[in-house]
Amino acid sequence: MKTPLRVYADTSVFGGCFDKEFDDESRAFFDRVSSGIFVLLISDLTVRELENAPREVREFYSTLTGYESVSETNECYGLRDAYLNAGVVGMASAADALHVAIATVYRADIIVSWNFKHIVQRRRIHGFEAVNTLMDYRPPEIFSPREIIEA
């Protein structure tokens, strides 16, 4: 049996389940998590962000089981700061950089996000990859849920 891919989902993927534009692909992603195709990584950062999400998003999150919880560490903050110092994203997007850093430190194979401005964008992806490579981290691949469910 093939080893499931470790996939870090940011908060936008949870919210995508209740967004007309993204609901089909977001739910298909979580179906793949439930069937064991993906091992879902959920960070403390995502959990904190979900606390401010609409009720239906929080309720959806509360029904999930079998995921791996990952916590922010000094190593994660250091990598986030390296992304910020390299100009991959600006300080206003520090939380987005932290999502990528957490996924990288915890060796996610893939990051999924609907954030096309600060995460799933070619220039940003190349920047995250460059910093990760310079700092001897294996860069996770970054996709939207649409891209990984069609693969």
Percentage of the chain lying above the pLDDT 90 cut: 94
* Segments forming the whole domain that contains residue 118: 5-149
Domain harbouring 57, CATH code: 3.40.50.1010
**Number of structural domains the chain divides into:** 1
Residues in the chain: 151
Query: 69, 91, 66, 79: which is closest to 129 by C-alpha?
Result: 79
The predicted pLDDT at position 98 comes to 98
Does residue 146 contact residue 45 with C-beta atoms inside 8 Å? no
| Mean pLDDT for the stretch of residues 31-57 | 96
The predicted pLDDT at position 1 comes to 62
Phi, psi of 142 (to 5 degrees): -120, 125
Distance, CA of 112 to CA of 48 (rounded, Å): 18
Q: What is the pTM of this model?
A: 0.96
**How many Cβ atoms from other residues are within 10 Å of residue 135's Cβ?**
13
- Residue 38's pLDDT band, with cuts at 50, 70 and 90, is very high
- Residue 151's pLDDT band, with cuts at 50, 70 and 90, is low
